[in-house]
């Protein structure tokens, strides 16, 4: 039986009956589309009638080239007979089939992960990897291959190390010794892919090792979910769906398999669709829809944005005029799957006409933090960004945020760039972090403890431009005639640098003042 939430159509005006012609993958010219099925849904695939019904529902609304079948989540291991039956079913539909593993003990308990100091958990992790490799030539680790455990065993094992150093070593060793090597011993052909989530600024603190793992595993995959910046606790900006894919591509060029989006946390369907658009603009070769269950969910009227009807790229009303006749004769209205389907159909029409992504290089050393996710806010105001783990030696301009301070050679690298005739822009956060560490040998510009609440701005002798509200910024001091205000922030009869310029050797050091609230950049 199909879920009751599908909503049978009755009396809907001007409905369009969609009868898709039989096709085989690949369905799109510029990318492939995958679906991910959690262990809970794979477990239920022992009911072949239900499986056929759910697949009929999904595949009539969105064309799928590949499916990932998860073998483990929350200590649930899918029965072998069920797993092999599901593999046969999807292969018979022409799909590529890969495996998936989520290393959680109880996802509902604050995403409780495995404790890799626990011998029983370690043994289970190895057994699951071997079991999965037995059935698949490729499998992906969903984004819980980290540890947040602080049990007594972890505390003892950590010793005098920081939690970051301890977890980086623990999870790097676990990836090699418990996942990759055991899997390849069972199946030498197997490709083991690690999928990273969207909170890249904080990976090292939970054991994700971006310096080692992307080349240790056979490939990486990118979580490009940004959901809703206001209602979600992460408050991620939409631009991250693009930038994080480019960043991970720079970590392991040519080894980034694709982007991954779910429908959770997106108040309006436009936001769900937009995550796909932005991911594909980053030239992701594959897009994965998480998950098989969500794709069957009924579209709710509350998911229609108030701006619908104004010519937006996602047309909710046009989508909802469609309906689908299933193999058993029932008529259904679109589900979440159709929101993905119309998005892929639209973007595929012109994606191949676009050039390669380009942006202002921004250096982020491995395992660094500082002014977290700032580049995404800059991307939102129209500055194309490109994060790199390697310091950019060439290019007329680069941006360095506070995270660059973790490189002990950063001041010398800045000097060398300037002496080579290439400009450098640093943020006020990095200026503060480098105080007393040599930045003053380039220019005596000082980050002070004073703040200013500003609403007027000017460039040169131009007229004042007013923001929609007051913005709190740090006050930057400098020596007159040694450096120059390019853009000023004004309050009353006083002003402070918003963009500052200082010459050094053959180029310029610029200081960009960042407001205390990054979203004030939008004002």
CATH number of the structural domain spanning residue 397: 3.40.50.880
Do 158 and 34 belong to one domain?
Answer: yes
Q: Do 126 and 211 fall into the same domain? A: yes
Q: What is the pLDDT of residues 66-104, one digit of tens each?
A: 999 999 999 999 999 999 999 999 999 999 999 999 999
The mean predicted confidence, pLDDT, of the chain is 95
Please indicate, yes or no, whether residues 254 and 385 belong to a single structural domain of this protein.
no
CATH of the domain at 297: 3.20.20.80
Q: How far apart are CA 131 and CA 59, in angstroms?
A: 29
- Helix and strand numbers, DSSP H then E, in the chain: 15, 23
Q: Which band of pLDDT confidence, cut at 50, 70 and 90, is reported for residue 22?
A: low
Q: Identify the pLDDT of residue 11.
A: 35
- Both 326 and 451 in one domain: the answer is no
Mark whether 88 and 225 lie in a shared domain: yes
Q: Which residue has the higher pLDDT, 17 or 432?
A: 432
The span from the CA of 258 to the CA of 284, in Å, is: 5
Q: What is the mean pLDDT of residues 376-397?
A: 98
Same domain? 287 vs 370: no
User: Whole-angstrom Cα distance, residue 101 to residue 132?
Assistant: 8
Is residue 339 located within the same domain as residue 375? no
Whether residues 149 and 16 fall in one domain: yes
| pLDDT at 292 exceeding the cut of 60 | yes
Q: Are residues 376 and 277 in the same domain?
A: no
pLDDT bracket for residue 325 (50, 70, 90): confident
Q: What pLDDT does residue 1 have?
A: 29
**Domain boundary at 325, 353, 381, which?**
353
5, pLDDT greater than 80: no
Residue 330 has pLDDT above 90, yes or no: no
How many domains, the chain? Answer: 2
Give the separation between CA 431 and CA 437, rounded to whole angstroms. Answer: 10
- Cα 293 to Cα 70, 88, 269, 345, 368: the distances in Å are 13, 20, 17, 22, 36
Q: Which of 333, 353, 373 represents a domain boundary (last residue)?
A: 353
Whether residue 369 is found in the same domain as residue 336: no
Listed residues 307, 322, 353: the one ending a domain: 353
* pLDDT band for position 326 (cuts 50, 70, 90): confident
Contact yes or no for 273/339 (Cβ under 8 A): yes
| pLDDT per residue as tens digits for the range 114-159 | 999 999 999 999 999 999 999 999 999 999 999 999 999 999 999 9
Give yes or no: residues 275 and 340 share one domain: yes
Nearest to residue 372, comparing CAs of 204, 253, 256?
A: 204
Task: Name the packing angle between helices 48-59 and 80-92 (round to 10°).
Answer: 40
Asked whether residue 21 carries a pLDDT value surpassing 80, the answer given is: no
- Give, in degrees to the nearest 5, the angle at Cα 245 between 260 and 345: 55
Average pLDDT over residues 375-404: 98
Q: What is the pLDDT of residue 216?
A: 98
- Structural domain for 494, as ranges: 362-522
- Entry pTM: 0.94
Q: Could you give phi then psi for residue 115, rounded to 5 degrees?
A: -100, 110
Whether residues 199 and 277 fall in one domain: yes
pLDDT at 12: 41
pLDDT of residue 6: 27
- Determine the Cα angle at 373 with ends 368 and 377, to 5°: 150
Percent of the chain with pLDDT over 90: 91
CA angle centred on 71, ends 210 and 5, rounded to 5°: 105
């Amino acid at each position: 039986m199909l879920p009751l939430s599908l909503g049978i159509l009755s009396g809907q005006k001007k409905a369009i009956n969609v009868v898709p012609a039989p096709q085989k993958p690949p369905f799109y010219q510029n990318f492939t589309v995958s679906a991910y099925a959690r262990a809970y849904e794979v477990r239920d695939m022992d009911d072949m009638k239900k499986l056929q019904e759910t697949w009929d529902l999904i595949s009539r609304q969105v064309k799928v080239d590949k499916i990932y079948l998860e073998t483990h989540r929350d200590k649930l291991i899918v029965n072998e007979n069920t797993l092999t039956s599901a593999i046969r079913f999807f292969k018979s539909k022409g799909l590529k089939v890969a495996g998936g593993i989520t290393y959680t003990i109880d996802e509902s308990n604050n995403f409780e992960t495995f404790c890799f100091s626990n011998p029983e958990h370690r043994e289970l992790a190895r057994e699951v990897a071997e079991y999965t490799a037995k059935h698949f030539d490729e499998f992906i680790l969903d984004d819980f291959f980290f540890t947040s455990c602080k049990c007594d065993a972890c505390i003892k094992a950590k010793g005098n190390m920081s939690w970051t150093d301890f977890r980086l070593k623990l999870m790097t060793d676990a990836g090699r010794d418990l996942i990759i090597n055991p899997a390849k011993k069972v199946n030498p052909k197997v490709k083991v892919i690690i999928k990273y989530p969207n909170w890249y600024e904080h990976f090292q603190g939970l054991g994700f090792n971006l310096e080692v793992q992307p080349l240790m595993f056979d490939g990486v995959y990118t979580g490009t979910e940004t959901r809703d910046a206001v209602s979600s606790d992460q408050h991620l900006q939409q631009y991250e769906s693009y930038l994080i894919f480019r960043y991970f591509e720079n970590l392991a060029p040519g080894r980034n398999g694709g982007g991954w989006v779910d429908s959770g946390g997106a108040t309006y369907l436009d936001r769900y669709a937009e995550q796909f658009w932005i991911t594909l603009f980053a030239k992701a070769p594959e897009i994965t829809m998480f998950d098989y269950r969500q794709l069957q969910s009924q579209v709710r009227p509350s998911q229609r944005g108030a701006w619908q009807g104004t010519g937006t790229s996602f047309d909710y009303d046009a989508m909802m005029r469609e309906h689908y006749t299933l193999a058993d004769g029932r008529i259904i209205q679109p589900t979440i799957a159709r929101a993905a389907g119309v998005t892929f159909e639209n973007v595929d029409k012109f994606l191949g006409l676009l050039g390669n992504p380009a942006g202002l290089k921004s250096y982020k050393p491995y395992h660094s933090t500082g002014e977290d996710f700032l580049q995404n806010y800059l991307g939102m105001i129209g500055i194309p960004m490109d994060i790199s783990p390697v310091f950019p030696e060439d290019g007329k301009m680069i941006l360095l945020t506070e995270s660059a301070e973790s490189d002990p050679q950063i001041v010398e690298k800045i000097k060398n760039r300037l002496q080579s005739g290439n400009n450098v822009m640093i943020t006020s956060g990095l200026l503060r972090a480098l105080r007393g560490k040599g930045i003053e040998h380039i220019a005596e510009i000082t980050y002070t403890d004073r703040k200013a609440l500003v609403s007027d701005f000017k460039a040169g002798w131009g007229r004042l431009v007013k923001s929609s509200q007051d913005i709190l910024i740090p006050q930057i001091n400098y020596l007159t005639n040694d450096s120059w205000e390019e853009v000023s922030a004004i309050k009353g009869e006083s002003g402070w640098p918003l963009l500052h310029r200082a010459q050094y050797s053959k180029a310029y050091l610029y200081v960009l003042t960042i407001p205390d609230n990054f979203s004030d950049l939008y004002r």
